Structure 1
Amino acid sequence: MDSIVLFGSVAKGEAREDSDIDVLVVWRGDESDGWRSMTGLSFDVLLDVREYISVKVIGLKDLGLKTPFMRNVLREGIKIV
């Protein structure tokens, strides 16, 4: 893992009680391994503290993509790791 970025309503301070927590994980190496690892971890968090974490995993090479999604994450996201 290279970094984790919080984005969406929680990052913008607009979360409601039923909001999920959106995180983007920038993964070094095989993205499918990263997705499996982070999905398992998010499920553990759901069971432990009853908070749903929506995980998006991208490779380090995809960090510079100019998609609307990536522009939004880079503009509004908060790097937490």
Structure 2
Amino acid sequence: MNISFTKKQEKYISDQVASGEYQNNSEVIRDALRLHTIYREKVIQDLRKEIELGWDGPDSSMTMDQIIESKKKSR
């Protein structure tokens, strides 16, 4: 496997190793992937909950266009 990093990412990885928290670059990347997996699982879980709320919630008297327009105005 061949992975490319930006200079900023390489510096971050090197700084993490230099801090003594990690023994090498691979440990930094493995930890980042582990955290990314946890984050993605949480995002997916939260989205599923929101979808369930929508499906199980009351029907709206608003049209889809009205809902979209109201969301645009609330930003």
| Fold match by TM threshold 0.5 | no
Q: Which has the higher helix share?
A: 2
Name the larger-Rg structure: 2
Q: Which has the higher strand share?
A: 1
Higher relative contact order (CA 8 A, sep 6+): 1
